[in-house]
Structure 1
Amino acid sequence: MKQLEKNWLEWIVFAISLVLVVSTLGYLVYDGANTGSSPPNFEFQLGQPQPQQNYFVVPVSVTNQGDETAEGVLVEVVLESNGTDQETAEFEIAFLPRQSTREGWVTFRTDPRTVDQMSARVMGFSKP
């Protein structure tokens, strides 16, 4: 029986595939070995209020600076005047991976531009 030889195109495809598989495995091993174990650490960025017909929309960006993923992140945004809460709004982020940012929006009846302070905080989250 005659042995079939591989042509040059098959060898090139094999070499490229091998390089891709080995580099992917290398990256995964490197990332797993160098990832810390710090818990989720949240940073907020509140955008400019946008007036709508009967309410105001405020964009909120939440960044997880930690090394672990958070699930079911409940974010609360508070409007404060003279040290008292005027109005609160909240939204939930289903899944917030490590070192990533997600965006959401909250709505208020009170104009956020007329209050002393607008702040955000995480009310709770769970580990996946």
Structure 2
Amino acid sequence: MTTTANKRHRDAKDPHWIEWATGMISALVVASTIGWVAYEAWTYADMQPELSIAITERRQTEGGYRVAFDIANKATATAAAVTVRGEILDGGNIVEDADVTFDYVPAESKSSGPILFSQDPGAREVRVRAVGFIEP
């Protein structure tokens, strides 16, 4: 703490307890941040994108039928230009297929989107899967 006497500034001999507390908390935050970054760097595993898809909704729209889905990337690497193919199957035969492309699916996150079909999937099997991506 600084005091002023006769137009001169002087530091007090003992700093105020708030200065000590602030310094200790700041040092703890800096040390914790350095430790966390070091841990992440040490345990980081470079993985290929790992994509999984879950259908969330089927419904009729004005121009056809919509099958909505979530695509999740569980890996630590981002996938770009992810192509997802949807197929309506009847007895093992493909009745209709459609593709949609995501610009990217970030690492350890998920995205959502629909595939639009002209035919009613009804009670038929609908298969939605990722068929390709590039590494950005």
TM-score by length of 2: 0.73
Q: Which residue is equivalent to 1:119?
A: 127
**Structure 1: any 5+ residue segments left out of the alignment?**
none
Q: Tell me: CA distance 1:7–1:37, structure 2 relative to 1, closer, same or farther (3 Å).
A: same
Change (3 A) 1:43 1:8: same
Identical-pair percentage: 24
Residue among 110, 123, 128 paired with 1:101: 110
**Bigger Rg, which one:** 2
Give 1:66's aligned amino acid. Answer: A
CA distance in 1, matches of 2:113, 2:19: 49
Distance 1:92 1:18 in 2: 47
Question: Which is richer in strand?
Answer: 2
Q: Check if 1:90 corresponds to 2:99.
A: yes
Runs (5+) with no aligned partner, structure 2: 1-8
Task: Give, as a single letter, the amino acid of the residue that structure 1 aligns with 2:64.
Answer: Y
**Post-superposition offset of 1:11:** 4.8
Which of 61, 79, 84 pairs up with 2:70?
Answer: 61
